[in-house]
Amino acid sequence: MKMKGRVMIESAKQKEFKTVKRWTFLTNHALVLLFVARHHRITARELSLELGITERAVRMIIANLEEAGYLQKIREGRTVKYDVNHDMPMRHPTQQDVAIGNFLETLRTSLSSAGKRSRA
C-alpha cells in the first residue's frame, strides 16, 4: 500500500510506515529550466504547482540559474518574462561540450513524441 511518499511495510509484529525517497533522472533545476524554456511567462507559483516543490524553492532555483547565466529575467510591466541562454554549456564536467539548448531541445522533442505515443 502506497501513501504519499510512504510505503507500508508489514512485519510479523506490526505494521509500520517508512518514508521512501523518490528520485528522478532530472533535477529540479533542470525541470525549472525546461518549463521556463517552454513557457516564458510562467510564474513561480505555477512552477511550484507543476513540479510539486515549494514556491520558495522555485525562486531559489531561478536565482541560481540567473546567477549562473542560464536565464535572464526581463520585467514587462507587472510580469516577468524569462529568456533562456541556449548557448550555455551543461554544468557537469563530462557534459560541458553540450549546449543547454541542445539538451532542452532533446527533452522537448522526446516529451512531444511520448505524448503522441500515449494518445495513440
Whether 100 and 85 have beta carbons less than 8 Å apart is answered as yes
Q: What is the pLDDT of residue 73?
A: 95
Is 87 within the bounds of a domain? yes
Q: Residue 36's domain is classified under what CATH number?
A: 1.10.10.10
Specify the number of domains making up the chain.
Answer: 1
Whether 93 and 77 have beta carbons less than 8 Å apart is answered as no
The cell for 97 is 561540450
Q: Which helix (H) or strand (E) holds 74?
A: strand 71-76
Is 111 within the bounds of a domain? yes
> How far lies 111's CA from each of 11, 68, 69, 115, in Å?
41, 26, 25, 6
pTM assigned to the model: 0.74
Could you give the 3-state DSSP secondary structure of residue 90?
coil
Q: What is the pLDDT of residue 91?
A: 93
CA–CA distance, 54 with 48 (Å, rounded to integer): 5
Q: Which long-range contacts (CB under 8 A, 24 or more apart) does 1-10 make?
A: none
- For 21-59, what is each residue's pLDDT tens digit? 778 889 999 999 999 999 999 999 999 999 999 999 999
Place of cell 520558495: 56
Give the domain extent around 101. Answer: 26-115
Q: How many residues does the chain have?
A: 120
Is 21 within the bounds of a domain? no
